[in-house]
């Protein structure tokens, strides 16, 4: 698990703590366990990603309004895989794949690659969700510019 002291963003930490409460007894939470009304004040920083198999790919199902504003683009519906040529998408793919394979959450910091906003640095957390308790079929996360 992630050390709470590692978080720089209180909002990202709160989303992680929410996921921890939902994953009680060592069972991965499902998408239906994530209730928007319980994330008051945090939704603009939250994202949900569908996990597709064979080949492994990721599709943004929901992207918070603050993330969209920082990125300058709404990534809802955007799909990426290991075949993406951009190094930033490869890094995201590797992070997401690690969560799928280990079934453990992950925290990271990066410089933003968004056009004309390279000066941004952000913190993100990605955690696994499973409708059946074992196979990761969705990712739940948060991102905030530092």
**Confidence band of 83 (pLDDT split at 50, 70, 90):** confident
Which among 86, 139, 133, 134 has a CA at the least distance from the CA of 114? 86
Q: What is the pTM of this model?
A: 0.93
Q: Which two tokens stand for residue 41?
A: 């004040």
**Confidence band of 114 (pLDDT split at 50, 70, 90):** low
How do residues 48-81 score in pLDDT, each as one tens digit?
999 999 899 999 999 999 999 988 889 999 999 9
pLDDT of residue 89: 84
Least confident of 38-42, 81-85, 142-146: 81-85
Domains delineated in the chain: 4-27+38-145 (3.30.450.20)
pLDDT of residue 132: 86
CA distance 144 to 120: 10
Percent of the chain with pLDDT over 90: 75
């Amino acid at each position: 698990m992630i050390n709470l002291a590692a978080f720089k963003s209180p909002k990202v930490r709160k989303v992680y703590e929410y996921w921890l409460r939902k994953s009680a007894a060592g069972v991965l939470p499902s998408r239906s366990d994530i209730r928007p009304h319980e994330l008051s004040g945090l939704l603009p920083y939250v994202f949900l990603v569908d996990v597709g198999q064979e080949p492994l790919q990721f599709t943004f199902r929901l992207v918070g309004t603050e993330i969209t504003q920082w990125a300058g683009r709404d990534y809802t519906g955007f799909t990426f895989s290991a075949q993406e040529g951009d190094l930033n998408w490869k890094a995201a793919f590797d992070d997401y794949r690690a969560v799928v394979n280990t079934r453990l959450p992950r925290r990271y910091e990066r410089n933003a690659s968004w056009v004309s906003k390279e000066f941004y640095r952000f913190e993100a957390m990605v955690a696994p969700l499973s409708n059946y308790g074992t196979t990761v079929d969705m990712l739940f996360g948060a991102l905030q510019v530092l």
